[in-house]
Amino acid sequence: DTAVSQTPKYLVTQMGNDKSIKCEQNLGHDTMYWYKQDSKKFLKIMFSYNNKELIINETVPNRFSPKSPDKAHLNLHINSLELGDSAVYFCASSQDYGGPPGEQYFGPGTRLTVT
Amino acid sequence: AQSVSQHNHHVILSEAASLELGCNYSYGGTVNLFWYVQYPGQHLQLLLKYFSGDPLVKGIKGFEAEFIKSKFSFNLRKPSVQWSDTAEYFCAVMRDSSYKLIFGSGTRLLVRP
């Protein structure tokens, strides 16, 4: 009964490839997020969707494209992968329902290694 | 730009020692404050949060934090640490219902048995 799940857990790929990471939450939350954690453990928000609408789009290369087919899913597609994309990517969700943003629940992370 | 500073990057303590991890932020408006913990190989878990009310907040596993508005601080404390508290601790700030959680750089805590 995992609250926020991500697949795959590990992803090793070569430069130039295109890959996707999937995220699903079964908490009934209406806001989902993608974060990137670099090798120094620094966490930075990338995107956020509220009820399938993009509400946060940080300064991220346009090779990264989030897609939210419904409010329980937020996928991250990355084109033309580069060495610098190697990181751990965390998905998160929060319950807001039109009020102030609530606490965020994080998934287990996807460790992406680009060779 | 809003920033969150965690001044202690690495902390080493012996079991039963007291812990205080510093967190300062730079935004002057209304903020929501959080401490998250990341145990080795695991995802982030919420330790405690402050939205409003009593500035002394109690969280899970005996942790507490105090919001001092005049100092823009939200320091994390625990009176007696255990070996199982070894982890990375992240302070995070969300301003004005913005949805955007800004994280500090983290503090790595090592507790020696």
Question: How far, in Å, CA of A111 to CA of A3, rounded?
Answer: 19
pLDDT over threshold 60, residue A99: no
pLDDT, averaged across chain A: 90
Question: How far, in Å, CA of A47 to CA of A51, rounded?
Answer: 13
Query: Judging by beta carbons within 10 Å of its beta carbon (0-12, 13-18, 19+), is residue A32 exposed, middle or buried?
Result: buried
On whether the CB atoms of residues A71 and A23 are closer than 8 A, the answer is no
Any CB–CB contact under 8 A between B43 and chain A?
yes
Answer whether B94 sits within 8 Å of A101, measured CB to CB: yes
Any CB–CB contact under 8 A between A90 and chain B?
yes
- The residue in chain A having the minimum alpha-carbon distance to the alpha carbon of residue B51 is A102
> From residue A56, how far is each of A9, A45, A89, B73 by CA, in Å?
24, 9, 16, 26
Note the pLDDT tens digit of each residue in A4-45.
999 999 999 999 999 999 999 999 998 999 999 998 888 999
Answer whether B43 sits within 8 Å of A100, measured CB to CB: no
pLDDT tens sequence for chain B (113 residues): 668 999 889 999 999 999 999 999 998 888 899 999 999 888 899 999 998 899 999 999 999 999 999 999 999 999 999 999 999 999 999 887 677 889 999 999 999 99
Any CB–CB contact under 8 A between A113 and chain B?
no
Question: How far, in Å, CA of B43 to CA of B92, rounded?
Answer: 15
Note the pLDDT tens digit of each residue in B77-95.
999 999 999 999 999 998 8
On whether the CB atoms of residues A48 and A66 are closer than 8 A, the answer is no
